[in-house]
Amino acid sequence: MNDWTDGYFTSSTYTYGYYRELNPVYQRFCLLARGFRPPEIGPGSAHCELGFGQGVSINIHAATSPGQYVGTDFNPSHAAQANEMATAAKSGGRFYDDSFEEMLDRSDLPQFDSISLHGIWSWISPENQGHVVEFARRFLKPGGVLYNSYNCFPGWAPASPMRELFVLYDKYAPSGAATFQRVEAALKFTERMLAAHPRYAESVPAVKDVFEKARQRDHDYLAHEYFNRDWICPYFTDVVEILQPAKLDFACTAFLMDFMDKLNLSQEAIDFLGTIENPVMREQARDYFVNRQFRKDYFVRGLRPLPAGERTQKLLETRYVLTTTEDISSSFKVMAGDAAFPDEIYQPVVEYLRSQDYAPKDFQDFGAVHPEVSPENVVKTLITLVSRNLVAPCQDVAAEKAAKPRCDALNAFFCERAKSAGEIPYLASPLTGGAVEIGPHEQLFLAVYRQKKRNAAALAQAVWDVFSRRGQKLVTPDRGKLETPEENIAELTKLAGDFLQKNLPVLKMTHIF
């Protein structure tokens, strides 16, 4: 009997995901962009993640950033996996299998600059939420950041009865212990019900679309998302109130595009929101305008606004790097539709980032070269580029240098793992403090490339040797499984060519290679 689970779905382990919102470098950028003073990152910093799942994010950050990393996830398989990565990286990360309640009693914890929880809050009981708040009250430094993400109303309003149906079916018509069967049975039941046109689906037409999207997700993901005993879908203001005993003030969301009202809201909406004085009420009302379904919030223990000049200066002093070599358009999609920046502002910033062979750079001297682009417009452009994941803010040179050996070791672990399981599709960048997403074949190519095999044919042959030792064959979307060695080597050569042309430059730009 799993009595440590507290109603949490533990029949399967969680997926291997990386989330940049937990990266202290990204957190600092968001707070600065919003005009608040962030905690300074340095060797004396300490960071904590509660409910780290497979521990990909926390391990990447423990390898890339200075300071201590501590985390917990009460699933011992998760904690074991996380510790295996920390040992490989020699990052010193300490990852426990304590429950949130048990963490409160630890006497070996530092005061943290950040406490982060991603994908936790909506899936734990009010009692466990209380333990999280108490943890922040005891262990977050004044000025420290709490990152919390959760499902929310009003965006979830149409689909929450559908989620309830999954759980009710699982409870009243159990279909065995295996995760796949349980999820599949509930999905099939719901599919049949929707086909029989219940009035619910007719009055909420969006539900069919939500169901179709859920149908396409991995069963393990769905199990954790929908099958927990607890599923709490709050309004933003509920969370603000619950966090008050830990003295936490709402700072901003981690969706950087939220900072660009003109790109996301109609003038009517901006005018309406402008009439609301209380910032919490304004943020709550904004959720109605964007019909928010999931929030990613930064709270600070003692919010300190930065004077405008200091904010701009700090953002211009920060180093940035492009994370793509592809063309970047000044027009892009936002929630409200299409948005466009004037080319004469956007493109000089992009070109500057491309200069000197994509080397990371700050924007302190940019004004001398491009006096026509104001510092405020540089900052706005950078915010949209980071939001679009085309640019990443970087950490300082000393932090990067110290992180490099840890990142190399963790990346070697990820690449080695691709030989057998291929489940962790990321590499850690000592420059950005974050991850670059990459497939298992590309991880294998990188491991071989490091051994000085540097053309597509040599990379393909070396990876084919790995495949044939373990009896693996490539499966392509159009031709299915490739049976002969010749077919496999030809396809691998094509993939290796893409790796050399597309992935490798990005790995070099982000100082992974």
Ligand X SMILES: C[S@@+](CC[C@H](N)C(=O)[O-])C[C@H]1O[C@@H](n2cnc3c(N)ncnc32)[C@H](O)[C@@H]1O
Instruction: Using the structure block, give the residue that is written with the tokens 């011992």.
Output: 76
Distance CA 348, CA 366 (A): 9
b/e string for 341-370 if b means 16 or more Cβ within 10 A? beeebbbbbbebbeeeebebbebeebeeeb
* Nearest distance, CB of residue 224 and ligand X, angstroms: 4
If one counts every other C-beta atom within 10 angstroms of the C-beta of residue 43, the result is 11
Q: Which of residues 120-139 bind ligand X (CB under 6 A)?
A: 120, 123-124, 128
- Binder among 38, 119, 144, 360 for ligand X (CB under 6 A): 119
Tokens, residue 108:
């070996």
Smaller CB separation from ligand X, 223 or 353 = 223
- Binder among 99, 190, 264, 384 for ligand X (CB under 6 A): 99
* Partners of 10 in the β-ladder: none
* Nearest distance, CB of residue 480 and ligand X, angstroms: 32
Smaller CB separation from ligand X, 16 or 352 = 16
* Nearest distance, CB of residue 130 and ligand X, angstroms: 11
Smaller CB separation from ligand X, 17 or 505 = 17
* Nearest distance, CB of residue 8 and ligand X, angstroms: 4
DSSP per position, 48-82: EEES-TT-HHHHHHHHHSSSEEEEE-S-HHHHHHH
Q: Which of residues 34-93 bind ligand X (CB under 6 A)?
A: 51-53, 72-75, 78
* Nearest distance, CB of residue 495 and ligand X, angstroms: 28
312 binds ligand X (CB under 6 A): no
Helix (H) / strand (E) element for 146: namely strand 140-151
Residues ≥6 apart with Cβ < 8 Å to 402: 43, 66
* Nearest distance, CB of residue 415 and ligand X, angstroms: 21
Smaller CB separation from ligand X, 8 or 255 = 8
Smaller CB separation from ligand X, 78 or 311 = 78
Alpha carbons within 13 A on the beta-carbon side of 42: 4
100 binds ligand X (CB under 6 A): yes
Task: Fill in the amino acid letter for 48.
Answer: C
Smaller CB separation from ligand X, 299 or 464 = 299
> How many residues of this chain interact with ligand X, rule: CB under 6 A?
21
Q: Which of residues 9-28 bind ligand X (CB under 6 A)?
A: 14, 17
* Nearest distance, CB of residue 127 and ligand X, angstroms: 9
* Nearest distance, CB of residue 489 and ligand X, angstroms: 36
Contact by Cβ (8 Å): 45, 61: no
Q: At 248, phi and psi to the nearest 5?
A: -95, 130
State the pairing for strand pair 112-117/140-151.
Answer: parallel
In the complex, residue closest to ligand X by CB: 53
Q: Can you give the length of the chain in residues?
A: 513
Smaller CB separation from ligand X, 131 or 441 = 131
Would you state the torsion angle of the CA atoms of residues 58, 61, 63, 66, taken in this order, to the nearest 10 degrees?
-130
Distance CA 33, CA 477 (A): 42
C-alpha dist (Å) from residue 472 to 57, 205, 338, 444, 475 = 29, 44, 44, 14, 9
Smaller CB separation from ligand X, 52 or 352 = 52
Smaller CB separation from ligand X, 98 or 287 = 98
* Nearest distance, CB of residue 14 and ligand X, angstroms: 5
- Binder among 34, 118, 295, 311 for ligand X (CB under 6 A): 118
Tokens, residue 289:
């305008």
Distance CA 414, CA 72 (A): 21
* Nearest distance, CB of residue 177 and ligand X, angstroms: 18
Instruction: Please identify, among the stretches 80-88, 116-124, 334-342, 440-448, the one whose residues bind ligand X according to the rule CB under 6 A.
Output: 116-124
Smaller CB separation from ligand X, 17 or 439 = 17
94 binds ligand X (CB under 6 A): no
Q: Which of residues 336-355 bind ligand X (CB under 6 A)?
A: none
Helix (H) / strand (E) element for 295: namely strand 294-301
Distance CA 160, CA 125 (A): 17
Q: Which of residues 203-242 bind ligand X (CB under 6 A)?
A: 224
Q: Which residues bind ligand X (CB under 6 A)?
A: 6, 8, 14, 17, 51-53, 72-75, 78, 99-100, 118-120, 123-124, 128, 224
